[in-house]
Each structure stands twice: as C-alpha cells, then as structure tokens.
Chain A
Amino acid sequence: MRIPRPIVSAILVLSLAACGSDARPAGDSGDIKVGILHSLSGTMAISEVTVRDAELLAIEEINKAGGVLGKQLVPVVEDGASDWPTFAEKATKLIRQDKVATVFGGWTSASRKAMLPVFERYKALLWYPVQYEGLESSPYIFYTGATTNQQIIPGLDYLKEQGKKRLFLVGSDYVFPRTANKIIKAYAAANGMEILGEEYTPLGHTEYSTLVNKVTQARPDAVFNTLNGDSNVAFFKALKSTGATAESMPVLSVSIAEEEVTGIGVDNVVGQPVAWNYYQTTDTSANKAFVKAYKARYGQDKVTSDPMEAGYNAVYLWAEAVKKAGTTEVEAVRKAAGGIALERPEGLVTIDGESQHLYKTARIGIVQPDGLIKQVWDSGEPIKPDPYLKGYPWAAGLAGQ
C-alpha cells in the first residue's frame, strides 16, 4: 500500500504537538490552581469519578461565593488510571509543573501509599477522602474519611450490641482488608467474640460459590465484609442463591455505599447493614443542600455517598484553612487547619490538628428496597480520630513498634 506521506507526517506532528503540554495556559495571577487526582479510567473509575464530580461541585460553589482570598479556584484534573505508579507521577506533575496549592485525590490505600512519598518529598498537601485502614499519619496528608475507630470499631460495637458473637471475615486481598481484619481479631479476642474463619480473594475475583459454602457451613452469627468493587456483586449473588437473607445471615459491609448498592442490585443486599459516616438520607440541612446541588448539577438519578461527601468536605475544609491562614502556603495552611470546625452534610466535623484526621460521627445503616440507606444507629457525637488506636488497650501491638 502506498502511504500518503502527508498523512503520516500530519499524524506524527499532531501527536507531538499534543506533547507540547508545558505550554498549558497558566491561569491569571488572580487564580489559585488546585489539583484533582482520581482514577478516571480503569477499574476504580466507577467510584472515583463521582468523588471528582463532588470536588468540582465544591470548587464551583466556592467560586460562585467569591472564591478564596478574593481569588477564583482553578481545578487541574489528572487521571490516576487505577494504577498506583501513575498516581505518583501525576502527583509530581501537579506539584512541580502546575504548582497547585493543594491536591484532592486518591481512593485505594495503594494509591495513597504511592502518593505519600511524593507529597512528603516536595512538602505539598494531599486531601484524601476515603475511609481507610489507619496506622498512618503523614504531616502532608489530611484524611477526611474515617479511620478505623470511626467506622470498623463502631461496626463491631453494633454487632456486639445485636448479640452477634461468632463472626466470619471475608475480604479482598490487599492492605485495607488485611489490616482491618487484624484489628477485628484483636477486638474479638478482647470482647469474647469468636472468629470462625478469615478468607481473602484477589481484587476483581468473581467466583464465590466455594467461599459462600465455607461461610454457610461455619454458621456464623454475622459476616464482616471488606470486599471491594465488583467482587461484592458476585459475593452477594452467591450468598442469596443459598437462600440466605439479611435476617439469617447478616453481612456488615464497610465498602458498600449508595453508589455500589445499585451496582450489586438492591435485591441482593436489601436489609443488610453497612457502616459509614454519611448517607444520602442523613438528616441535616447542609445535606439537603448538598444532595439538591449535586442532583441539579449531575442529574436527578444520581446518588450521593460517603466518599463523595468526604471529598466535597475536603475542598471546603482546605478553603477554610486558607482563609484562616491568609495564604495558600502549605506550612501556614497546615498550622491553621487544626481546630477548624464546619457544619457539613454529615454534621459537625472538626480537624484534629495533631493527626490531621477529622472528628466524625459513626453511623450504621440498613440498605432499603429503594437503594438508599437508612440510619439505624449513630455514635451520638463526633468521635475523635485515633489512627493508631492508642486509646484501645486491646489494640496494643497492632501498630508495630
């Protein structure tokens, strides 16, 4: 085949021209650039895109209200591509090239662990919006999701209250479920509960009949579920096919929110308990406004969930810290952030300056037939974050040295 030469050269020139990205139009000096770094492609995209949308919504709202320090916020959005090294690379790009004031991003623990050295190396700020396994407290990360004593331990307290003493642990094979289960086992040992089994499957695993057989044969009072992503669909379907219901086999999940319920199919999880800090149904005036604004912006059929709310909050908390500091300079913002308290959709949140986590209210909810989650229990007041579980004698030794 004769190749029309101009076409080939045009393609090459075009592709190279696209690479002249260093000449990205910089905002006016009156703008503040902030980075947003979530997976927009790959397996995590389904979850992370919604967090990005919530963060962009917060930025729009803040801009509409006059911006921060009289300047407009300009988001620079990058794709972490569900790939941890890409998160590290794009974080470096946002910090060093775009010189953003702060970054909002990440979902999986692996992506946070990959970004941590980058933010510490360049002394830049990351706001991480998802509940996680604790045992971490980087001076350059603010954690706006729950740590273990604000989600997993309240979840266990709830099961204990309900008289569920024999548990079976099911999780995906990575750092969050493994660490969570380590904590659950220590809690069980101290509270006279029994762990009948502990099973892990690779991320993305979808064959659960064997595992479900193991679970049903062990006859636990409840299952503690730390599976992530698609695996939940297969797991709950397999469980339902054995005839189990939420009454006969309660499964407490810590990674299933409103968004995931639709994916799993409401029929398969209806009546099951979940542990979070926020639900779309959470009854605060700030939440009514948030849900309304989100639906108006992205569609009436959209739902809001805990990580989205945590991402949305992160932008507001950072803006508040910047206002208090009078500058976007990182060390000043860090210092100003401690003690900031805001009424958010989930209720009052306060930044704990020492650990850079939030005081958050723990909530247990039950999945409803309409796909939303109804709260059945809450901690009454925001719980002080304790990422290393220092306040729990039974947890001594979990944090390593």
Chain B
Amino acid sequence: MSNEHVTEPEVNENLNVSPLDDFDTAETVSPAPVSDDSILDFDDDPLSATSVSKKSLVIFFLIDTSGSMKGKKMGELNTVMEELIPEIRRVGEADTEVKVAVLTFSTEVRWMYSTPIPIEEFEWARLRASGVTSMGAAFKELNHRMSRNSFLNSPSLSFAPVIFLMTDGYPSDDYKEGLRELQTNSWYKFGLKAALGIGQEANDNILAEFTGSKDTVVHAYSGGQLAQMIKIIAVTSSQIGSKSMTLSDDTTHELGEEDVFAAKQKLLGQQIQELVSTQTDGDDVPFDTGW
C-alpha cells in the first residue's frame, strides 16, 4: 500500500445526517498498476484463487453483566449465545465476512476479546454477573472502538455494523452523555441497532433512545422468551446487515437517496415486530416471580 491519501467522499447536503463524514479513511487505496510482464512472471494458474474479496460485517453485542443479571438470566444468556454462533455462521455466505465483538458492562466495561473475531473462529466465553450498570461508559467505549483505526479496520469494504444491546436494569451512570457521544459516530448512525430488555426493570424508553425507534426494541420476561428474542434479533439483524433490500412494487418512480436512507433499520424494525408477534409464551415462569 502506498501512502497516497484518499479523496474525501462527497457529502450530500440534503441528508439530515451527512453520510460517511467520520468513516475516517485511514487506509489508503491505490489501483493496480498496469503491467505488461511476460507470461511466467506471475502465478498464472487459472485454478488457484483465493477466496473472493468479502465485505466485512461486525456484530457488536453490548451485554449488561451487572449483579441483577445473576442466576437464571445469565445462565440462559450464556447458553443461547453459545447456540447462536453456529446459526450466524451461515449468514455471511461468500460475500460477507462476519465478525463478532462482545462488550460487557457492569461496574467496569470489558471486551470479551481484544478485537472482533471471525464468526468461524469465535468461541463464547461464559459471562458472570456482578456490580452496577455502567451503560453510559459502555456507549463511550463503543464509540471509541467503532473506528477505522480500531475495531473497524478491515481494508476492504464494510457493511454498517449490527449493534445489539441487552440489559435488565436502569443505567447507574449518565447514559445520556455516553449516548450523545455515540450518536456522533457515523458507524452508529448507519448501523443496525436493536435492543432487548430483560425482566420488569429494563426501561424500553431508554432502549428506544439507543436504537432510534421502538420497533427495534423487544422485551423478554422469561427464560424461553430471552432465548427466542436473542435469536430473532441476532439472526434477523445480521441477515439484513449483510444483504440489501427487497424492493418496492412501484417501479414508476426511481429511488433516490432519501428513499433508501435508513431503509435497513426500518426493515429490521418491521421484521422484528412481525417475528415477535408470532412467538408464544408457553408455560415459562417469569424472571421476577416464584422467589
């Protein structure tokens, strides 16, 4: 790679969020040189190819590991996450390299691994719960890492990340300040955001502030629901994140940027709501009863 700098992407003034303004283009891009070397100067075996260049999709899980998550909630969460990984493996197919990053927050915020891990190699490290709910600190840490210089450093093209927040309580720090910082991040703006409230204490309004809409917030009151909801959200959002849209019936009008803006987030909201409405409670005992 040369050190030549990349031209700044054009910013469309008409959009209320200027696209791409802080996808800091740290990596440089240079086209292949034209060359007329002789036939034997390079590996010319038509059968030896490397994997097609993939677009990268990072799925961020933000998981509340405060003391109130102890017991059944954490047990259920650990189990479903272990089961979930093989299901997400199929999502990327040949076009997308799916990576996973897990940020836990309690009294402290901590990444499960120091860098996003390709889904094929990812192994879930079981989490334990203790301490308070530093959600604001988690937002700040996420903002810090969602950068070309940090976790989103794939040299090739990326899809906007999937960001999935799970919590069972009210933040114990100033989550608003953290969220304000996060909201300036372009990866966050274009990312697919979803949230899961666990049990009675979780506040859906705060979660909707995080995702930007109520459609992408769901609530689980029991272990069975928790497992269902995590799977629904994670699989649906990674499918949508790594694919484009199915299209409108109306072909009389050409799509403009305003038509497609945040289209994936809207689709995610619709699909989550449809899927959630078809789930059944069964005979699960709610988290908050039976003590």
Q: Do A and B bind each other?
A: no
Q: Point out residues on A near B: beta carbons under 8 Å.
A: none
* Interface residues, chain B, with chain A CB atoms under 8 Å away: none
